[in-house]
């Protein structure tokens, strides 16, 4: 909305009527769009404080009971820990792949550069369910061929989730590398820094916002993934989205709402905290 303000000439009273109308229309559309995005979140937060078990309007009262239920539910707790571990490990591996890949894509001139870039972004386009099924079949074949029990293992899950992380990290790291002025690296080398020191002291700080933003988005997409994980989890190994789905098959009480609100809160806090240290908002 600041866009509308800064674009408009300062003399408000002198504006032709159709301009003013356009501005109101623009603000109206923006408001509808925001409401469209936020309404479900607002409702689920409201719902999580309902006193009654069956969500119906109007609420019969408010309580924190469902938060207690959620936090004391061992299934949710275990699932949350697994999802967190999975997200962290997948993100770290994804970064380890994405950083050199991005450097190669942006800085080297080789044949098939565009293809490699597109391949790395592909998991973003392929539906999760297709990816999950493909990985499932693939892991079955590996298990048969090597008798290595990858299917349903933590390693198997990580394997899949790395694919979710890579497109985000590659996309955001390449974006920040493209905008990076390479004479800064030459300046560092001229001042006595070898290639490694140059990368650590000059390149890295410059692309850090891209790396952090990529890691964050990668983590969030891993943490929230349902479709792919469904194919890859094993007995006793459930991610949070799957635990929520399973719970919903038997009950529809606001515990789910409470779990969702907690999940949203954790991610929101993570975003705000990282944004304080590196300005992610400048990259995304």
**Cβ–Cβ < 8 Å for 47, 254:** yes
Give the interface size with other proteins as a residue count (CB under 8 A): 17
Of 48 and 198, the one with the shorter C-beta distance to other proteins is 198
Q: Interaction with other proteins in 132-151: which residues (CB under 8 A)?
A: none
From the list 132, 124, 126, 114, the residue with the least C-alpha distance to 94 is 124
**Rounded Cα–Cα distance for residues 162 and 183 (Å):** 33
Q: Interaction with other proteins in 205-224: which residues (CB under 8 A)?
A: 205-206
Q: At 252, phi and psi to the nearest 5?
A: -125, 30
Least distance from other proteins to the Cβ atom of residue 219, Å:
24
- State how far the alpha carbon of 112 is from the alpha carbons of 99, 104, 105, 126, 174, in Å: 18, 12, 10, 21, 16
Of 184 and 270, the one with the shorter C-beta distance to other proteins is 184
Q: Dihedral (C-alpha) 224, 229, 233, 239: value to the nearest 10 degrees?
A: 10
Of 5 and 201, the one with the shorter C-beta distance to other proteins is 201
Q: Interaction with other proteins in 169-208: which residues (CB under 8 A)?
A: 181, 183-184, 186-194, 197, 201-202, 205-206
DSSP-based three-state secondary structure for 182: coil
According to DSSP, residue 53 is labeled: S
CA-based max dimension of the chain: 78
Least distance from other proteins to the Cβ atom of residue 204, Å:
10
Of 5 and 200, the one with the shorter C-beta distance to other proteins is 200
Least distance from other proteins to the Cβ atom of residue 196, Å:
11
Of 9 and 192, the one with the shorter C-beta distance to other proteins is 192
90 binds other proteins (CB under 8 A): no
- Sites of contact with other proteins (CB under 8 A): 181, 183-184, 186-194, 197, 201-202, 205-206
């Amino acid at each position: 909305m600041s866009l509308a303000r800064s674009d408009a000439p300062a003399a408000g009273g002198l504006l032709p009527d159709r301009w003013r109308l356009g501005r109101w229309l623009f603000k109206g559309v923006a408001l509808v769009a925001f409401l469209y995005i936020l309404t479900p979140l607002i409702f689920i937060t409201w719902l999580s404080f309902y006193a009654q078990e069956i969500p119906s309007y109007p609420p019969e009262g408010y309580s924190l009971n469902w938060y207690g239920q959620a936090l004391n539910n061992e299934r949710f707790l275990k699932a949350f820990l697994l999802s967190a571990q999975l997200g962290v490990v997948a993100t770290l591996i994804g970064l380890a792949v994405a950083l050199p890949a991005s450097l190669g894509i942006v800085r080297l001139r080789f044949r098939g550069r565009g293809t490699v870039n597109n391949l790395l972004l592909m998991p973003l386009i392929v539906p999760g369910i297709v990816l999950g099924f493909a990985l499932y079949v693939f892991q079955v074949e590996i298990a048969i061929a090597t008798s290595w029990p990858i299917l349903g293992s933590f390693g198997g899950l990580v394997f899949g989730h790395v694919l979710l992380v890579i497109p985000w990290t590659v996309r955001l790291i390449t974006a920040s590398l493209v905008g990076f002025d390479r004479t800064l690296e030459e300046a560092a080398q001229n001042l006595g820094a070898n290639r490694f020191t140059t990368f650590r002291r000059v390149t890295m700080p410059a692309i850090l916002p891209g790396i952090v933003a990529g890691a964050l988005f990668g983590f969030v997409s891993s943490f929230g993934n349902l479709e792919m994980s469904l194919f890859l989890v094993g007995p006793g190994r459930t991610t949070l989205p799957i635990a929520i789905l399973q719970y919903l098959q038997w009950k529809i009480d606001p515990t789910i709402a409470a779990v969702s609100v907690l999940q949203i809160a954790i991610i929101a806090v993570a975003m705000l905290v990282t944004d304080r240290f590196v300005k992610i908002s400048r990259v995304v």
